[in-house]
Structure 1
Amino acid sequence: MGFHTFDPAETERLEDPTRFRFCSREELLQWLPTGREHNLLDIGSGSGFYTDEVAPFVGHVVALDVQAEMHRQYRERGMPDNVAPMTADAGGLPFGDDTFDGAFSTMTFHESATNESMADLYRVLSPGGRVVIVDWSAEGNGEAGPPRSERYDLDRARVFLSDAGFTIVEGSERSETFAIVAEK
């Protein structure tokens, strides 16, 4: 897949509450570690739509995005105090080993999934740390999200995560998306 980024001029689309039909806050929270003692990484945070949903339930969230413009817009909209923006590529995470208790990626896995980025994610998660990925599926109907040719399916996501050393906890294909939970 070719790497691409979301157009920051289109961020109003990212703030649309109908996005919850593809992934809800409750889904993320049931799979992620919660509590003030936990630090999470949001990979491909964009303008913070899902970051805002998770932040009240954990101690700290790093909102990672490759585009500084996304962070600027997030700050303007109002970034929670326990969220720290970080501009970096998912394949070169600027964090120490075992830094995070969990990580999540909502609708952005197709933009940065490589063997290198999955290995780096494994490195920065603490033992027992969970990663939750909900993304547009190549098996989906194609009625929303990027073109089907730019998407991965659940099986390919399993391979990426397994090859990096993760244990798959659960996974499912849905009408437009797949969801996968893995553990270090």
Structure 2
Amino acid sequence: MGFHTFDVDRADALEDPGRFRYCSAEELLSLLAVGPDATVADLGSGTGFYTDVVAPHVDTCYAVDVQAEMHELYAEKGLPTTVETVTAGVEDLPFDDDTLDAAFSTMTYHEYAGEDSLAELARVVAPGGRVVTVDWTRSGSGDAGPPTDERFAVGDAASAFEDAGFSVERAETRTETFVCVARR
């Protein structure tokens, strides 16, 4: 992953319902637009805050994080039956080609952005599948999330996905975040 990972000692902050102001449960499910038989991955799942949103609506939701400690905290909280934890970086996912119907990341793109990670997503997301990215925007205030110099603008993210062979269906900047939906 990129600049840093979230500090495990601060993992309780990942369970703050105030996070929904940046991406609500309804918005995330709408952007993913997958059915109940879907296989989905949460990239940078942490303690499973957003994984828990998606898990009841899909067949399998992989909680992908580079920190095994995050998976341990998630297990203590209680894993939904449709969730499987995967300790891996986005640049080296242990999935077969075309395995995922969709993938999503909420406030973690800045941790894994790069050609290797996007090429890996192009490999594991099935044709027609979506990658939904909600992350801190470079133009935000920097009061929440990582420092602004560790963030990306939505245009940078959209271009990176297009360079990796995705078609960008939606790319917009909000006050503190951006949304990018890319289809393989």
TM range (shorter): over 0.9
Q: Does 1:51 align with 2:68?
A: no
CA distance in 1, matches of 2:115, 2:121: 10
Aligned to 1:99: 99
Aligned to 1:4: 4
Which sections of structure 2, spanning at least 5 residues, go unmatched?
Answer: none
Counterpart mapping for 1:23-172 below 5 A: 23-172=23-172
1:141 Cα deviation from its structure 2 partner: 1.6
Percent of residue pairs bearing the same amino acid type: 54
CA distance in 2, matches of 1:34, 1:150: 31
What's the CA shift string for 1:36-60, capped at 9, x where partnerless? Answer: 2100011000000000011111111
CA distance in 2, matches of 1:142, 1:8: 21
Aligned to 1:13: 13
CA distance in 2, matches of 1:21, 1:54: 17
What's the CA shift string for 1:8-50, capped at 9, x where partnerless? Answer: 1101111000100001111111111332210001100000000
Secondary structure at the aligned position of 2:92 is classed as: coil
CA distance in 2, matches of 1:172, 1:158: 10
Q: In the superposition, relative to structure 1, how do residues 36 and 2 fare at CA in structure 2: closer, same or farther (>3 Å)?
A: closer
CA distance in 1, matches of 2:151, 2:46: 18
Aligned to 1:183: 183
> TM-score, normalised on structure 2?
0.97
CA distance in 2, matches of 1:45, 1:55: 12
Aligned length: 184
- Give the stretch that moved more between structures: 25-34 or 101-110: 25-34
What's the CA shift string for 1:78-134, capped at 9, x where partnerless? Answer: 110100000001111111100000000000000011111001001101110000000
- Give the stretch that moved more between structures: 138-147 or 165-174: 138-147
1:68 Cα deviation from its structure 2 partner: 0.1
Moved over 4 A (4+): none
CA distance in 2, matches of 1:53, 1:139: 27
Secondary structure at the aligned position of 2:117 is classed as: helix
- C-alpha RMSD over aligned residues: 1.1
CA distance in 1, matches of 2:140, 2:101: 30
Which sections of structure 1, spanning at least 5 residues, go unmatched?
Answer: none
CA distance in 1, matches of 2:147, 2:14: 17
CA distance in 2, matches of 1:126, 1:2: 25
